[in-house]
Amino acid sequence: MRRILVAGNWKMHGTQAMVKSLLEGLLAGSQPGGNVDLAVFPPFPYLAQTQALLQQSPIAWGAQNLNPVAQGAHTGEVSASMLLDFGCRYVLAGHSERRTLYGESDADVADRFEAALAAGLEPILCVGETLEERENDETEAVVDRQLTAVLDRCGVSGFQKAVVAYEPVWAIGTGMTASPEQAQAVHAFIRNKFDSLDDIIAGQLRILYGGSVNGSNAADLFAREDIDGGLVGGASLKVEDFLAIRNAVA
């Protein structure tokens, strides 16, 4: 049985005071156990504080990006080994904001995914179509291209210790959540693609939905066969909103 993962992507938000109150609130309010894992993705400067607050807890943490190079003259960048040094379990790869605002290509995303795996981090590969692509009936072609770039590099075995997040770009930060039917259809497409390569890996692969998930829509989304949790942006910045999503898991 796949465990549900509810992952909070804080993006470029936070202060030390906010990190303290958010994490203390999550620690106080999340019931341990059940079939749910929680994870948070703070900005780099708050990883040390996150590690200090969460290290004895069941809540995991990760980073929002990494540079695929091990070390060297890359001013402003952060490597996989640095993330491990701060106890990260996960790292996002190919979030749509990285792809659109910072020009990360499919090949760049594959580089990051590969470097994360090699270091022992669990990458969360983000894929998803723009509104224009959906309206042109290109959703499956786009998602297929984004997955294939990583599969060609790392093979299906690269997904034994990885997560996929389907995040339609038009639903991120817009309040326009994909309907459970729309999301399930793409999740099934993704799982079928993996199933054609390795049915065991496909059966174990966690596929998260991301795009305006909140306490009111999470239960319907997470009830779908191929939706194994959520990657949550805005609603992960408030204790009660994030816990409402966590508590929506049946």
Q: What's the closest the beta carbon of residue 198 comes to ligand PEP, in angstroms?
A: 27
Dihedral sign for Cα atoms in the order 230, 167, 238, 47: positive
Nearer Cβ to ligand PEP (133/167): 167
212 binds ligand PEP (CB under 6 A): yes
Chain length of the chain: 250
Does residue 167 interact with ligand PEP by CB under 6 A? yes
**Piece of the chain touching ligand PEP by CB under 6 A; list 112-120, 146-154, 190-198, 209-217:** 209-217
Stretch that binds ligand PEP, among 70-78, 81-89, 152-160, 227-235 (CB under 6 A): 227-235
Applying CB under 6 A, among 4, 231, 243, 248 the residue interacting with ligand PEP is 231
Q: Name the residue nearer to ligand PEP (CB basis): 121 or 202.
A: 121
Catalytic hit among 95, 97, 104, 187: 95
Angle at 158 between CA 188 and CA 182, to 5 degrees: 20
Residue 173 as a binder of ligand PEP (CB under 6 A): the answer is yes
From residue 69, how far is each of 19, 55, 101, 164 by CA, in Å?
Answer: 29, 27, 21, 22
Question: Residue 167 catalytic?
Answer: yes
DSSP characters over 88-133:
--EEEES-HHHHHHS---HHHHHHHHHHHHHHT-EEEEEE---HHH
- Between 127 and 235, CB nearer to ligand PEP: 235
Which one of residues 190, 213, 239, 245 is an interface residue with ligand PEP (CB under 6 A)?
A: 213
Stretch that binds ligand PEP, among 27-35, 49-57, 192-200, 228-236 (CB under 6 A): 228-236
Q: For residues 66 and 238, what is the distance between their CA atoms, to the nearest angstrom?
A: 25
104, 122, 129, 167: the catalytic one is 167
Nearest to 206 by CA among 60, 21, 16, 44: 60
- Bin 33: left if φ > 0, else alpha if -120 < ψ < 50, else beta: left
Q: Which residue is nearest to ligand PEP (CB)?
A: 233
Among 54, 93, 221, 232, binds ligand PEP (CB under 6 A): 232
The residues near 37 (Cβ < 8 Å, ≥ 6 apart) are 3, 4, 5, 6, 58, 60, 229
Q: Is 95 a catalytic residue?
A: yes
Can you read off the two tokens belonging to residue 147? Answer: 């997955």
Q: What Rg do the C-alpha atoms of the chain give, in angstroms? A: 17
Q: Does 9 bind ligand PEP (CB under 6 A)?
A: yes
CA 234, CA 170: separation in Å to the nearest integer? 15
Catalytic residues: 95, 167
Q: Where on the chain is the footprint of ligand PEP (CB under 6 A)?
A: 9, 11, 167, 172-173, 210-213, 231-235
